[in-house]
Amino acid sequence: MNLDKSTKRIAKKVKNGFQGYPQISLAYYGQSTELANKVVVEFISEAGAPPQIQTFSSDMDAKKDETIQTTLLKVIERANAKTVLEAEGISIDNA
């Protein structure tokens, strides 16, 4: 799947807001607010359940990495996520 399709499909799911569980949250991190080289995915199966966390890294901008964006979409679809949340902007990664 190409980058444009993946990002549009993810954005559409984010735009729907909270629709219940299962829920997936996406947060982008980088050395600056200009370039995200890491994305953290949190999966919550039901209210009160502990989150399962998975991290994807890239040498380039993770938001423009076709492999990462396609993988995120597949994770969302396979989890049958009713809600997809995305943190606004890029947070500074202090790790």
Give how many domains the chain has, as a whole number.
Answer: 1
- Would you state the pLDDT for residue 42? 97
Q: Which helix (H) or strand (E) holds 3?
A: helix 3-15
Structural domain harbouring 77 = 3-92
Looking at residue 33, which CATH number applies to its domain?
3.30.720
pLDDT at residue 85 tops 90: yes
Distance of CA 79 to CAs 4, 20, 38, 52, 88, Å?
Answer: 22, 13, 21, 12, 22
Alpha-carbon distance of 29 to 11, in angstroms, equals 18
- At 46-60, the pLDDT tens digits run 999 999 999 999 999
Q: pLDDT digit string (tens) for 62-80?
A: 999 999 999 999 999 999 9
Region 86-92: what's the mean pLDDT? 93
| Predicted confidence band of residue 95 (pLDDT cuts 50, 70, 90) | low
